[in-house]
Chains A and B, each alone.
Chain A
Amino acid sequence: MHRFVFALVLVAAPAFLAGVTHAQSNGEAPAAHDTPPETDEIPPGFRPVKGAPDVAKIDAHPLVVGAYATFFLGIFGYVVYLARRQTEISREMEELAAQIRKVDRA
């Protein structure tokens, strides 16, 4: 059952997602590769909230750094959490094994 789940995650899911997006593709051209010009054009789906600060004046670099730092800290934090749980299990196992040995000797 576990092998099936892992195979699904590794192979089927990205392949399925790629197939879905390919099927939905309407062949529109991608965004241009040039440096973004200064423009008042609003991207589709993005509408500045009324009363919000001028988004052109907001520096994007700290936001991107913050987002990527969050990803890595979040994943690393979860890995540390799993490692600590495993260490706890290992310690309990050692204690239980010591008790069994004590009883065996007795």
Chain B
Amino acid sequence: MTAIRAQLFGHPRGLRTPSLLVALSAAAALVIAAGVWMTFFYAPEERIMGFVQKIFYFHVPSAWLMLFSVPIMAVGAVMYLVKKEDRWDRLADTAVELSIVFGMLTLISGPLWGRKAWGVFWVWDVRLTSSLVLVLTLVATKIVRSYAGTSAKQIAAGLSILAVANALFVWISVDIWRGTHPPKLVQKLEGEMWATFWVCVLGFHLGYAALMWARLRVGKLRTALDHLHMQAAEADIDA
């Protein structure tokens, strides 16, 4: 079986998870756990918003990662359109998925905070609306991959590039228009709040790196297995 696994995947260990990935995941979990502890037992309650402000320490890193995924996705999309190599498409697909995951976390945590701050779960504020449009665009990109036939990857790549403009709009909207969503407050943090926030950011980035590695790995294994199925079918082996 080891010989067959090596033949199939070029490595005798096959599907075993790399130990560095396990270590990275463990580090992310530890730092995030530290961030949660600091959020509730170290960082003080905000003077005006009170306890609900604790959502800030996870909401903002989630939003940053949602936006951070977009240029990665765009690089993968452009490189795929230029070079037509599967690895760039896998990078774009991975970044889309992660952006959707962190985007959903942002769009759920934000309204929970808004319920206390504004009295309602949702307002059609420019930042909230543009974030929702961004996530819907990314979901459309995933749907297109599954149902758009032979040109699916090219169409998905095009949508990914469109999402970059949307993401830029989300980032700058709160600076240009004075809407309901508060302006950027990170630069005003100091002391325990500052430390707690950046520990959470670090934990989220470590977790993001681990998830990206794991997802890219799954994509690579899937592509390799699909090619092997094709070869086996040509050799009349695959039933």
Interface residues of A (CB under 8 A from B): 1-2, 5-6, 9-10, 13-14, 17-18, 21-22, 24-26, 28-37, 39, 41, 43-49, 52-55, 58, 60-61, 63-64, 66-68, 70-71, 74-75, 78-79, 82, 85-86, 89-90, 92-93, 96-97, 99-101, 103
Residue of B nearest to A31 (CB): B47
With contacts A14-B202, A99-B237 taken as known, whether A63 is within 8 angstroms of B225 at the C-beta atoms is no
Looking at the assembled complex, report how far the CB atom of A20 sits from the nearest CB atom of chain B, in whole angstroms.
Answer: 8
Residue of B nearest to A28 (CB): B188
Asked if B109 CB lies within 8 Å of chain A CBs, one says yes
Complex CA–CA separation, A78 to B104 (angstroms): 12
Q: Select the stretch in B142-150, B159-167, B189-197 that faces chain A.
A: B189-197
Looking at the assembled complex, report how far the CB atom of A47 sits from the nearest CB atom of chain B, in whole angstroms.
Answer: 6
Task: Point out the residue from A1, A31, A34, A97 that lies within 8 Å of B4, measured CB to CB.
Answer: A97
**Contacts of B1-49 to chain A: CB distance below 8 A:** 1, 4-5, 7-9, 14-15, 36, 44-49
Which 8 interchain pairs have the tightest Cβ spacing?
A: A52-B119, A45-B182, A60-B52, A33-B44, A31-B47, A67-B109, A30-B190, A24-B187
Q: Is the CB of B52 within 8 A of A30?
A: no
Which residues from chain B contact A100 at a C-beta distance below 8 Å? 4, 7, 232, 237
Q: Is the interface of A mostly helix, strand, loop or mixed?
A: helix
Q: How many A-B residue pairs have CB under 8 A?
A: 191
Asked if B153 CB lies within 8 Å of chain A CBs, one says no
Interface residues of B (CB under 8 A from A): 1, 4-5, 7-9, 14-15, 36, 44-52, 54-55, 58-59, 62, 64, 68, 72, 87, 91, 101, 104-105, 108-109, 112-113, 115-120, 123, 180-194, 198, 201-202, 205-209, 211-216, 218, 221-222, 225, 228-229, 232, 237-239
Task: Point out the residue from B15, B105, B198, B212 that lies within 8 Å of A90, measured CB to CB.
Answer: B15
Q: Is the CB of B190 within 8 A of A5?
A: no
Which residues from chain A contact B213 at a C-beta distance below 8 Å? 2, 6
Q: Is the CB of A67 within 8 A of B225?
A: no
Looking at the assembled complex, report how far the CB atom of B65 sits from the nearest CB atom of chain A, in whole angstroms.
Answer: 9
Q: Is the CB of A71 within 8 A of B237?
A: no
Q: Is the CB of B183 within 8 A of A52?
A: no
With contacts A63-B112, A86-B221, A93-B14 taken as known, whether A21 is within 8 angstroms of B187 at the C-beta atoms is yes
Give 24 CB contacts A-B under 8 Å: A5-B72, A5-B91, A6-B212, A9-B208, A9-B212, A10-B206, A13-B68, A13-B205, A17-B201, A21-B187, A26-B188, A30-B194, A33-B47, A34-B47, A45-B180, A46-B180, A64-B55, A67-B108, A70-B109, A75-B207, A89-B225, A93-B8, A96-B229, A99-B238
